[in-house]
Structure 1
């Protein structure tokens, strides 16, 4: 895991290179390196900016040493002919297998790093190398002969990659802040701002909340030709779309065995490292299954786990954490966060995340990674992505009811909802199903396409200024209903894909990347490989959600005998759930002052004053909307952003 950046321009400013390097230092505190391509096509590779000369291209690398800790793994790395150069952020877990394959083709290697394997894999296969990879990655490869820079991002967007593109400037970075240094005006993207404030939707689009800063979407690559520095050209292409086709003939037992086999393979690959590895542990099924599988495969390994707990909180998962730690003989570490602590870290948290986020659960994760850093662990495994492929959220069960109704399987829908209602956390699902059966409604939250802009204004939440957002596009709402158009008989599968790539996982992966890298920690997510994901999404839905309403059903069955039964039998869904209302209550003076002194044109302050400021004493009225308002105000202030 590292930080990477680059600039292509007629005149590259040395001070800008240094500033970008400094802003990425937390991503790679172990080492740094620079490459400069001069106007005469000579190349300088250096660790010292004093060697900087007038150049047309610069590559910047900050190193967090994980695999091959020697100087041989230093970047920017070149092949033996000095024709290709790479800066790479991430891990290629199957690098040993790829190395053997390349050796049969005559390639030799001077290092033990996955970076060199990736570089030579690209030299051999060009962009076709991407689908050979198992890993998380964002990288740039310079092809000197063709005046071309090739950039790519992994299948799910685990690792970030942002860029600025103008005819006379191309720049990329692992984070947004380095690119802000290259903008004359740091303006907010009004459309993206609205989507965040109204629906907490970020990270899914190539546009970001900052005008002129784009992100390379997951499963995509970019080719940049800089033959003419006044007319830089780019080509963007999608290289990965999940192959999902229902496996109708596979038995439950066959599918269960295959899931266990693939999950074991993923865990083994994700444990490849030259430094010690720990795990995050929430006490839920996903993280508990990761640590349990590690101990099953390697019983004698000394494994550190890191958990967030809250005292006197009804949703605390501490008892489940303790069950796993005790049964698996783990070295457990816990961080206990006091209600008043968020306020002292809020600025650093917002700066680290770079763009606004949905709730204070991000702070819980931030504190876990801080704890990991304090215990000198550089790599951890985490369960991100499991809910999106194994239907871990309540909404999937809701859609399953709708799917059964649409297929006229009313008895099954009734029975499923009734069984679901026995779970105290889902007791309203039965009433909901009865209502749907009675009406036979499919489009339960469908927003009809209405071209009358006055009617569209009614969609704008009351805490926002309708006049300011009157020309906003509401096309993005299709992302919340698109699964009803793709295949109305396959709602759950479509929604799983939707949350994987649009409405859920992109946000979560950004949170995880920024929180982990804030403390120079590499966080790995073993649920997210194409093979594992595509297999699960191709299974019959009743394998994923049982007839009794049990989510992650086949995964629970596959991990029996490995993950503790008390964990696998859990029916609630908590995750990193903090006592948000308590935290906000302890910030009431801070919040009041912030809202009363704010004067942003897109908020309806009369509504905010009436519904939020006056009710800060009432915990029941506080919600995620208040956090988004606070977060946005502080974000604009801390980043000194301009508003149209």
Structure 2
């Protein structure tokens, strides 16, 4: 796994500047401490930082060139089927210089051109400069497990694993994108392809970017297909296929020449991965769990018991978050506002894991594949609420408001019920959006925002984004439609977190549930097999009977809730006031300070639950200070 960066001047006449490539590469040291390289080929520059996992020899350093020296690649990848392709490629006459998966991508490109991505099973972001055709070919994996950012300004196109590498070139303007910032306040992250910067964009998952003849072309090469559903006549056969495919995916992700571990909690997903890892290689597995002292919902005891059952070498990380020190470092790492507070424990977990392993496996993607979230179960509840006579709905809604349900936390059941009772109509999009709960609604925006910033809210249109994703789902199955939206939105946000928090500590995260062959099979199953009544992940749980530790499958799902309110009313209270009510914040022109003060005071006096909104506002201002006002150096 690595970090990559590069650029191309579209006019073809100006040579790439080695000093610029070196500066871009220097910002990515944390992604690749084991090697570095820069290649200049006329208008193109490629740069790489290497984290050696497959073929640890220096011959695996990048950029890698073909035997003729006219085709070059930099890649951030783990290709789990690369060894399968080598014999045929060697038979065709390709002469390999290394045993890396990166060089196999280059050979597949020489054989199949842009369709080389169809042959790759794994996670990747890579760039190939083909001197023969004067073509730059850039690609990102199907789910976006590996990041790829790009920018175009004047006659130059830049690309890199992280935004900080792009900003290392002073020729790229740092203008911000206020519409994207509004979307951050709504979602807690900035939906792709936008970023916080006007000229910088995310290359979407399963897309390629080609620069040829001075033009940029972006195309989609793969789509998770929910439209074709099937189920064998015998449920037992289906359960066996789910387990066999998942077991194969886990086994493939044990590939590498470095120590491997797993992040283990009390939940089904991480237990499934850990159990199957131990089946495949029982002597090799380190497991890691994280918890906060005196935190509600802490699963460290359950993880400890599961580790004992599987026989892993278990490491328990009980952390004091030290938020005032850690939060600015996390904000710097992301390069753009990112409001997920679970970044804090994940930061600590990866820091501890890096002392023992280089590669970790996780359960990411299972909720999005098998309907594991609460919102997947609430569509029917909304329909029942809507079926009630309107006067009764209004009466009940008034009663809930009188009880203060509108002031409860965004995840509280009574507040959700109030939202459903007040829905105009229970469309799938509205129910999904209400349960996903935008952090920054119209009323709050009108109260807090200055007029110029408020004017950007209409263009931000978070509801329109969700509605567009539902239109693209391509299925009438309501469960699968929601899962399609999950994969295209919330999952991409989670994968940014997984990548950034692992690579900040020079470790690699692998997600067996996101193997595209496994995910494609699961997507083809009817939603009723994923969510049956109130039981989420129904077919997965049946497949895992006798595989995971006793009690795991019957355990009530415990969302990983963080004490954000306690943090903001405790350790972070001074920072919250000092940062958000500071003159520097006022000079940004986004918010009315008096309105901010009222919101903060209400939260600190426990007169309302504004924890996640205030967290996002704090992250937004810290981002301005750490990234825009400060340097673009990687987080320490």
TM-score range, shorter chain: 0.7 to 0.9
- Is the Cα contact below 8 Å between 1:161 and 1:174 reproduced in 2? yes
Residue number in structure 2 paired with 1:470: 455
Q: 1:17 aligns with which of 16, 21, 28?
A: 21
Deviations 1:459-511 (A, max 9, x none): 84533335422244144422334466567842221110111112x11111111
Q: 2:539 aligns with which of 540, 546, 554?
A: 554
By how many angstroms is 1:175 displaced? 0.5
Q: Distance in 2 between matches of 1:347 and 1:390?
A: 35
Matched, 1:4 2:4: yes
Match runs of 1:555-574 below 5 Å: 555-574=540-559
Match runs of 1:122-521 below 5 Å: 122-183=109-170, 185-202=173-190, 204-225=191-212, 232-251=214-233, 252-298=235-281, 300-338=282-320, 341-375=322-356, 377-399=357-379, 428=413, 441-442=426-427, 445=430, 460=445, 462-471=447-456, 472-482=458-468, 485=471, 489-502=476-489, 504-521=490-507
Matched, 1:613 2:601: yes
SS in structure 1 at match of 2:378: helix
By how many angstroms is 1:363 displaced? 0.8
Residue number in structure 2 paired with 1:84: 71
- Is the Cα contact below 8 Å between 2:382 and 2:431 reproduced in 1? no
Q: 1:74 aligns with which of 56, 61, 67?
A: 61
SS in structure 1 at match of 2:454: coil
Residue number in structure 1 paired with 2:565: 581
By how many angstroms is 1:556 displaced? 0.9
SS in structure 2 at match of 1:601: coil
SS in structure 2 at match of 1:374: coil
SS in structure 2 at match of 1:567: coil
Distance 1:619 1:178, change over 3 A: farther
Distance 1:474 1:596, change over 3 A: closer
Q: Distance in 1 between matches of 2:70 and 2:345?
A: 45
Distance 1:140 1:266, change over 3 A: same
Residue number in structure 1 paired with 2:615: 627
By how many angstroms is 1:105 displaced? 3.4
Deviations 1:19-71 (A, max 9, x none): 21210111100011111114xxxxxxxxxxxxxxxxx3211011100000112
SS in structure 1 at match of 2:598: helix
The number of aligned residues is: 590
SS in structure 1 at match of 2:532: coil
By how many angstroms is 1:439 displaced? 9.6
Q: Which runs of 5+ in 2 are unaligned?
A: 388-410, 434-440, 631-636
By how many angstroms is 1:161 displaced? 0.8
**TM-score in terms of structure 1 length:** 0.85
SS in structure 1 at match of 2:72: strand
Distance 1:383 1:429, change over 3 A: farther
Residue number in structure 2 paired with 1:413: none
Distance 1:96 1:461, change over 3 A: farther
SS in structure 1 at match of 2:290: strand
By how many angstroms is 1:551 displaced? 0.5
Q: Which runs of 5+ in 1 are unaligned?
A: 39-55, 408-425, 449-455
Q: Distance in 2 between matches of 1:427 and 1:604?
A: 28
Residue number in structure 2 paired with 1:452: none
- Is the Cα contact below 8 Å between 1:364 and 1:578 reproduced in 2? no
SS in structure 2 at match of 1:315: coil
Q: Distance in 1 between matches of 2:445 and 2:566?
A: 28
Deviations 1:503-536 (A, max 9, x none): x111111111111111110111111122211211
Distance 1:138 1:624, change over 3 A: same
Q: Distance in 2 between matches of 1:119 and 1:496?
A: 34
Residue number in structure 1 paired with 2:577: 592
Q: Distance in 1 between matches of 2:627 and 2:200?
A: 14
SS in structure 1 at match of 2:513: coil
By how many angstroms is 1:216 displaced? 0.9
Residue number in structure 2 paired with 1:98: 85
Distance 1:534 1:318, change over 3 A: same
Distance 1:439 1:24, change over 3 A: closer
Q: Distance in 2 between matches of 1:434 and 1:175?
A: 38
Q: 2:519 aligns with which of 516, 523, 533?
A: 533
Distance 1:313 1:457, change over 3 A: closer
Q: Distance in 1 between matches of 2:2 and 2:419?
A: 52
Q: Distance in 2 between matches of 1:431 and 1:71?
A: 56
Q: 1:601 aligns with which of 589, 603, 613?
A: 589
C-alpha RMSD of matched pairs (Å)? 3.0
- Is the Cα contact below 8 Å between 1:222 and 1:235 reproduced in 2? yes
